[in-house]
Amino acid sequence: MEQHQAQLARLDAAATALTSALDGYLVKQGFPPGDGPLWANKRDYMSIPDKWQLRGHPHAWPGARYVLRGPDERRIYLNHDGRKHRWSVAGHYPVDADGYSCIRGRDVPKISVSSEKDATHLVAHVLRRFLPLYLGLYEQAADSAAKAAKRVAQVEAFTASLCQELLEMDPYVPDFRRTHSEHKHISFNGNGIRGSVDIGPSTAEIKVSSLPHDKAAALCRAIVETAR
């Protein structure tokens, strides 16, 4: 047990050393320093090998997981596999309004590093092999998330405006359905007119049921006037 506690302390020290190195890296890249450290780490999981695990893996180290939190949503996951004596390093990326990663479908940087060497070995590999790729991809994901949020805001604003217009119908029976944050579907039924509107970030598709001739003519005149 004492041996495993010493090994766990060694893992903690490696995570702390990496956290400090991440601070220095961002400052050198021109990231404005804050009042305190830019990165912080927390061990949110650990497991000490029990006697049954040690029977199959007599040289197993503790398993552990660290979350290194940086500015905004920058986050690095540091996992230690006690049986293989290796670190695995991966990153977190911004998501859109529906909770989907803004980098889905792309190759993301992940590396594996031996934990049997000292902390400087882990730091050197992360700074050289992982961090530049991660930070570059993170910026792309953050830009995609910002653009997605803007599109969602456009859809929300137009939907609210359109609903206000439809309130003039008597009776007005709305039916809202959203299949995606950037798209909404509204059905309406009032004054003998039934239809629906499918709303996207910059366009809307309007469908109307069969109409009496006078209302159909009025709708066509409105379309012609709008097209001018």
Q: Each residue of 217-228: pLDDT tens digit?
A: 887 888 888 876
| pLDDT single digits (tens) 10-33 | 999 999 999 999 999 998 888 877
Q: What is the pLDDT of residue 67?
A: 95
Write down the pLDDT at residue 156.
Answer: 84
Kind and range of the H or E run holding 78: strand 75-81
Domain boundaries, the chain: 2-148, 167-227
Q: Tell me the per-residue pLDDT of 57-93, one tens digit each, with 9 for 90 and over.
A: 677 778 899 999 999 999 999 999 998 999 999 999 9
Residue 171 clears pLDDT 60, i.e. is over it: no
pLDDT for position 14: 94
pLDDT of the residue at 27: 87
Q: How confident is the model at residue 177 (pLDDT cuts 50, 70, 90)?
A: low
Quote the pLDDT of residue 176. 58
Given CA atoms 126, 127, 129, 135 in this order, what sign does their dihedral have?
Answer: positive
* Range among 31-35, 93-97, 113-117, 191-195 rated most confident: 113-117
Query: Does residue 129 have a pLDDT over 90?
Result: yes
Overall pTM > 0.75 = yes
- pLDDT of 12: 93
Task: Return contacts of 81-89, CB within 8 angstroms, 24+ apart.
Answer: 82/47, 82/49, 82/57, 83/53, 83/57, 85/59, 85/61, 85/114, 85/115, 85/116, 86/112, 86/113, 86/114, 86/115, 87/14, 87/112, 87/113, 87/114, 87/115, 87/122, 88/112, 89/113, 89/126, 89/130
User: Cα 66 vs. chain centroid, distance in angstroms?
Assistant: 19
Helices (H), the chain: 2-28, 51-56, 119-125, 131-166, 213-227
pLDDT at 93: 94
The predicted pLDDT at position 35 comes to: 67
Average pLDDT over residues 43-70: 78
Share of the chain above pLDDT 90, in %: 37
Band (pLDDT 50/70/90 cuts) for residue 178 is low
Q: Could you give the angle at the alpha carbon of 108 between the alpha carbons of 102 and 109, nearest 5°?
A: 140
